[in-house]
């Protein structure tokens, strides 16, 4: 059996998928060490994982995200090198916001994989820029538009290159001309096939492995009583936008023939007046709750989106920042939900969107097809098999990756070929 060192960013949306893969590797008989923020130490050690917290450092400009990311990468990579030398892993893996592990692996000459916790974001000749609020172009003018926007995206993606080279220099690595800090050998894209647009230039290093789901520790709250459909509203695990979203949800769904469970991103519950059909909960395990849900309302973080879809639950997505807008657009495009931009957020519009999920069968059918994809791929175990192959410990059970083309998904994964897909094709 092998040894694996897994590193993760401190946010739950990054740490929990890494934790799910750690569990799968451990169940397969491997020794796994976790490297993350100290706040995850008790969780890791309670499950029997050796844990080493990040090395301490002070960023010179914590408000500059790119500088925070890459300056930390250099400091943390230097702190990881003695750990790598002592633990002697067969391979390293980190999520996309933890590039330090990749630098340490390069210094030590070890194989390295990146976990991407949202759809593939690098430019494609077939698609608009990641985050652009529109569907891929189909006419000459809209494709020209996409090409123009992609050129600006490539310019933006190259901006952190000096910071990346600064981090590389901190651990004695030579500078690079490539601003892509992800692994050039294996990127585990922990999304659903129905969340990926078809494209002709899908990179060979990227594998769609399916969601890698794990829940926050804690007790599952009691559901609202009754037999009416359950609607679950979730906010960001960072606690962002709790009040804005929750207040609108409570107003929109008060008096409806539904049961509403609203889950906050923090333990400081907002002082909100609850209608009789609603309950409010602090952060808790969401998976067991989604198993009972008929619809969901979410802010668009990838973890919450794929958790709902993996349970066959259609959702209304209200994106606020980051990759949330892209996730919302892809949910809508897949047919498994509705997108409601924050600037158009109102109680009446949200009420209409939730009612449509409950009343129109097509949303539920698309969500159930997404659930079938998640079950077939079995993300954590698929990742574990690919990491075993990367480390030279064997071939991953003969299961090839899902490949994308310009006309839709080609389901090379044997299990995927036996099920319907909610994907729409580009013609």
Per-residue pLDDT tens over the stretch 210-247: 999 888 777 888 888 889 999 999 875 544 445 677 88
Nearest-angstrom CA–CA distance, 327 and 331? 6
pLDDT digits (tens, 9 = 90+) for 256-284: 999 999 887 665 665 667 888 888 888 88
Q: What share of the chain has pLDDT > 70, as a percent?
A: 84
Kindly list the domain boundaries of the chain, sorted by start residue: 3-210+378-418, 230-373
For the domain bounded by 230-373, which CATH number is listed? 3.40.50.2000
What pTM, to 2 d.p., does this model score? 0.85
The mean per-residue pLDDT over the stretch 29-48 comes to 92
CB-based burial of residue 364 (10 Å sphere; 0-12 exposed, 13-18 middle, 19+ buried)? middle
Residue 404 has pLDDT above 50, yes or no: no
Question: How high is the pLDDT of residue 370?
Answer: 94
pLDDT at 255 over 50: yes
Provide the pLDDT for residue 200: 84
User: Residue 418: CB partners within 8 Å, gap ≥ 6?
Assistant: 376
Across the range 39-59, mean pLDDT stands at: 84
Fold annotation for 3-210+378-418? Rossmann fold (3.40.50)
pLDDT of residue 423: 38
**Residue ranges with strand state E in 40-111:** 51-53, 91-95
Question: CA 103 → CA 15, 121, 246, 362, distances in Å?
Answer: 19, 21, 41, 46
Q: One fold for both 3-210+378-418 and 230-373?
A: yes
């Amino acid at each position: 059996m092998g040894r694996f060192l897994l590193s993760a960013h401190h946010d739950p949306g990054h740490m929990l998928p890494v934790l799910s893969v750690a569990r799968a590797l451990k169940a397969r008989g491997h020794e796994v060490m976790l490297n993350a923020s100290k706040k995850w130490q008790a969780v890791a050690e309670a499950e029997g994982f050796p844990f080493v917290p990040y090395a301490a450092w002070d960023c010179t400009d914590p408000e500059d995200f790119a500088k925070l990311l890459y300056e930390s990468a250099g400091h943390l990579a230097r702190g990881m090198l003695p750990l790598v030398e002592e633990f002697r892993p067969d391979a390293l893996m980190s999520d996309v916001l933890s590039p330090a592990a990749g630098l340490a692996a390069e210094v030590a000459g070890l194989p390295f994989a990146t976990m991407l916790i949202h759809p593939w974001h690098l430019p494609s000749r077939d698609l608009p820029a990641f985050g652009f609020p529109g569907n891929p172009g189909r006419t000459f003018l809209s494709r020209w538009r996409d090409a123009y926007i992609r050129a600006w995206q490539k310019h933006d993606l190259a901006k952190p290159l000096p910071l990346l080279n600064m981090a590389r220099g901190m651990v004695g690595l030579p500078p690079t001309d490539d601003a892509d800090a992800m692994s050039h050998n294996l990127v585990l894209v922990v999304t659903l096939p129905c969340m990926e647009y078809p494209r002709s230039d899908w990179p060979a290093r990227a594998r769609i492995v399916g969601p890698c789901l794990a829940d926050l520790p804690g007790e599952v709250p009691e559901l609202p009583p009754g037999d009416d459909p359950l609607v679950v509203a979730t906010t960001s695990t960072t606690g962002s936008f709790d009040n804005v979203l929750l207040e609108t949800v409570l107003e929109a769904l008060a008096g409806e023939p539904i049961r509403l469970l609203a889950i906050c991103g923090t333990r400081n519950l907002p002082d909100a007046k609850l209608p009789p059909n609603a309950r409010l909960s602090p952060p808790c395990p969401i998976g067991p709750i989604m198993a009972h849900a008929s619809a969901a309302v979410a802010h668009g973080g990838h973890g919450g989106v794929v958790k709902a879809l993996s349970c066959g639950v259609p959702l209304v997505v209200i994106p606020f920042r980051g990759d949330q807008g892209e996730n919302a657009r892809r949910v809508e495009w897949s047919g498994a939900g509705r997108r409601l931009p924050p600037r158009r957020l109102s109680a009446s519009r949200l009420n209409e969107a939730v009612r449509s999920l409950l009343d129109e069968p097509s949303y539920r059918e698309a969500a159930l097809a997404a659930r079938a994809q998640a079950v077939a791929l079995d993300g954590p175990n698929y990742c574990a098999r690919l990491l075993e192959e990367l480390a030279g410990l064997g071939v991953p059970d003969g299961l090839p990756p899902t490949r994308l083309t310009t006309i839709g998904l080609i389901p090379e994964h044997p299990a995927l070929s036996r099920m319907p897909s909610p994907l729409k094709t580009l013609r």
